[in-house]
């Protein structure tokens, strides 16, 4: 995660409710304006609570926690229902800011900890000016992307396609004996529908449309490494951030950081599986508004599952983590008798230390993706968060379940679904 910058503005969202009467909104906005606050967004929608008519969401960059508190107190003179979603837990009942709608993910576009064009001195392409320039070019393309746009197409060079081909052929030869059945089932579909082959790198836009049809997951390009919080938050919306650049051709079987081989061969196939998609989103939903401590635990759970997870299928251990499915050496090592294999238990997995520059000494084995999802959900229920959330797939927004009225509304939607289920079961009997 990114280090805290004490001089950085606090991105803050206030939610307040008003009754439909003349001057109600004007009074609230005047109270904010009087404190020399410039709003970056204001949004309204019908209230989901019975005592109010409209909910308003306003975004602004606060100077400090005291300024946020002053704004809240000013608003409470005009409405009692004021809630804070901020970036500083010291602000009353505030929790860390989190995206509430799909377009909020656009705020992550330039919030990268490490740019894709920035290479460490030991990177195979560090001393190759042509490679560095190419990475910078692809990074700039990713920077321009916004929600709703088609993912920009990259015209890969012959050298880049050749590197991809070497990786593709080597890894796909190992999948029949090492990869989980879900990965093996989806890969032929990607070959058939998304142009997966050993001749050229497939395009993310085509893959994203395929995933959308399968599970609702989509892919968006990223400039570089995101913070754990931002990266995990995106999974709540079934969005995966993917790089578009590829490893250096001098070492096609090695990369010190995620590249397009890791993303498209390791991650993508399983996002087309409904159970794995549900599991991944569960981690994302748990990360919304979580404390820094809980984000660290969730990121560790993500590391040992989505990145380096193993599962038990038909009495055998198979790999489903993208870090394994995109690494020849570690894929073979993980399924040998060398590492320590432990049952997946989020409370224990969350605090397990791990190396990032060598093979893992410990792996966690899931019984199934659904079982892992339920365990993560139980883990999240015990986190220090004053509310629960759900993803509304129809509006592509996050609903915060923090009062009785919202919970009752949610229960009614479940009841309607149960009626539909009962009707279907009756017709099949």
pLDDT of residue 95: 76
What are the pLDDT digits (tens) for 356-374? 889 999 999 999 999 999 9
Distance CA 209, CA 73 (A): 46
pTM, full prediction: 0.82
Using DSSP's 3-state secondary structure scheme, residue 79 falls into coil
What is the band of 49 on the pLDDT scale with cuts at 50, 70, 90?
low
Pairing of β 388-392 and β 397-401? antiparallel
Label residue 7 by pLDDT band (50, 70, 90). Answer: very low
**Is 250 annotated as catalytic?**
no
Q: Is the dihedral of CA 101, 103, 104, 108 positive or negative?
A: positive
Compute the average pLDDT of residues 97-112. 87
pLDDT band at 2; cut points 50, 70, 90 = very low
* 47: confidence class by pLDDT, cuts 50, 70, 90: low
CA–CA gap between residue 57 and residue 13 (Å, rounded): 7
Task: Render 42-53 in DSSP notation, one character per residue.
Answer: EEEEE-SSTT-S
Tokens 């190419």 appear where?
A: 134
Q: With contact defined as beta carbons under 8 Å apart, do 242 and 263 qualify?
A: yes
326 is annotated as an active-site residue: yes
- Please report the pLDDT score of residue 48 as a whole number: 61
> Which tokens in the block code for residue 319?
């790999």
Q: Are 147 and 103 in contact (CB under 8 A)?
A: yes
- At 160-187, the pLDDT tens digits run 999 999 999 999 999 999 999 999 999 9
* 375 vs 381: CA distance, rounded Å: 10
What the block records as the tokens of 2 is 């990114």
State pLDDT tens for residues 318-338. Answer: 999 999 999 999 999 999 999
- Is 170 known to be catalytic? no
Tokens 């993500």 correspond to what residue? 302
Name the active-site residue from 326, 327, 330, 388. 326
Measure the CA–CA gap between 214 and 203, rounded to whole angstroms: 17
Catalytic one among 87, 234, 267, 330? Answer: 267
CA 259, 265, 270, 271 torsion: positive or negative?
positive
Dig out the tokens for 344 from the structure.
């997946």
In this predicted structure, the answer to whether residue 311 has a pLDDT above a threshold of 90 is yes
**262 assigned to active site:** yes
Name the band, by pLDDT with cuts 50, 70 and 90, for residue 86. Answer: low
- Catalytic option among 160, 182, 263, 307: 307
Q: What angle do CA 389, 222, 103 make, to 5 degrees?
A: 40
Using the predicted structure, report yes or no on whether residue 8 has a pLDDT greater than 90: no
Q: Which of 207, 204, 196 is nearest to 168 (CA)?
A: 196
For residue 45, pLDDT beyond 50: yes
pLDDT tens by residue, 216-270: 999 999 988 899 999 999 999 999 999 999 999 999 999 888 999 999 999 999 9
Which pair of structure tokens corresponds to residue 17? 């409710």
> Contact, 267 vs 258, CB < 8 A?
no
Range 271-293 average pLDDT = 95
> What is the C-alpha to C-alpha distance for residues 135 and 276, in angstroms, rounded to an integer?
31
Q: Which of 268, 265, 266, 271 is nearest to 283 (CA)?
A: 271
pLDDT tens for 120-154 read 888 999 999 999 999 999 999 998 999 999 999 99
Report CA-CA distances (Å) from 61 to 13, 25, 85, 205: 9, 20, 12, 33
Which of 123, 178, 248, 262 is catalytic? The answer is 262
């Amino acid at each position: 995660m990114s280090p805290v910058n004490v001089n950085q503005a606090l991105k803050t969202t206030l939610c307040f409710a008003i009754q439909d009467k003349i001057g109600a909104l004007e009074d609230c906005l005047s109270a904010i304006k009087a404190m020399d606050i410039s709003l970056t967004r204001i949004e309204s929608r019908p209230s989901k609570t019975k005592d109010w008519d409209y909910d308003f969401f306003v975004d602004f960059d606060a100077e400090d926690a005291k300024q946020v508190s002053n704004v809240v107190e000013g608003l409470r003179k005009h409405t009692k229902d004021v809630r804070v979603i901020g970036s500083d837990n010291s602000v009353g009942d505030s929790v860390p800011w989190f995206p509430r709608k799909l377009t909020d993910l656009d705020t992550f576009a330039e919030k990268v900890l490490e740019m894709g064009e920035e290479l460490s001195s030991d990177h195979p392409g560090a001393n190759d000016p042509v490679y560095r320039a190419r990475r910078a070019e692809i990074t700039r393309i990713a920077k321009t992307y916004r929600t709703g746009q088609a993912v920009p197409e990259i015209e890969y060079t012959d050298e880049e396609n050749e590197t991809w081909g070497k990786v593709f052929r080597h890894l796909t030869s190992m999948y029949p004996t090492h990869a989980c059945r879900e990965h093996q089932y989806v890969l032929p579909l990607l070959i058939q529908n998304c142009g997966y082959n050993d001749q050229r790198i497939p395009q993310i836009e085509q893959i994203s449309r395929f995933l959308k049809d399968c599970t609702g997951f989509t892919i968006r390009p990223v400039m570089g490494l995101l913070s754990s919080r931002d990266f995990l938050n995106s999974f709540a919306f079934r969005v995966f951030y993917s790089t578009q650049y590829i490893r250096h051709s001098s070492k096609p079987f090695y990369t010190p950081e995620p590249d397009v081989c890791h993303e498209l061969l390791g991650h993508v196939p399983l996002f087309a599986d409904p159970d794995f998609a549900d599991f991944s989103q569960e981690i994302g939903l748990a990360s919304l508004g979580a404390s820094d401590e809980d984000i660290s635990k969730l990121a560790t759970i993500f590391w040992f599952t989505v990145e380096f997870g193993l599962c038990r299928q038909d009495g055998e251990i198979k790999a489903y983590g993208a870090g394994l499915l995109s690494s020849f050496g570690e894929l073979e090592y993980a399924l040998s008798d060398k590492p320590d294999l432990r049952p997946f238990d989020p409370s224990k997995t969350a605090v397990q230390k791990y190396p990032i520059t060598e093979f893992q000494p410990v792996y966690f084995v899931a019984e199934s993706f659904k079982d892992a999802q339920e365990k993560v959900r139980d883990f999240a229920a015990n986190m220090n968060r004053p509310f629960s959330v759900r993803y509304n797939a129809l509006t592509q927004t996050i609903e915060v379940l923090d009062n009785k009225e919202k919970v009752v509304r949610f229960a009614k939607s479940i009841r309607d679904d149960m009626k539909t289920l009962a009707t279907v079961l009756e017709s099949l009997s």
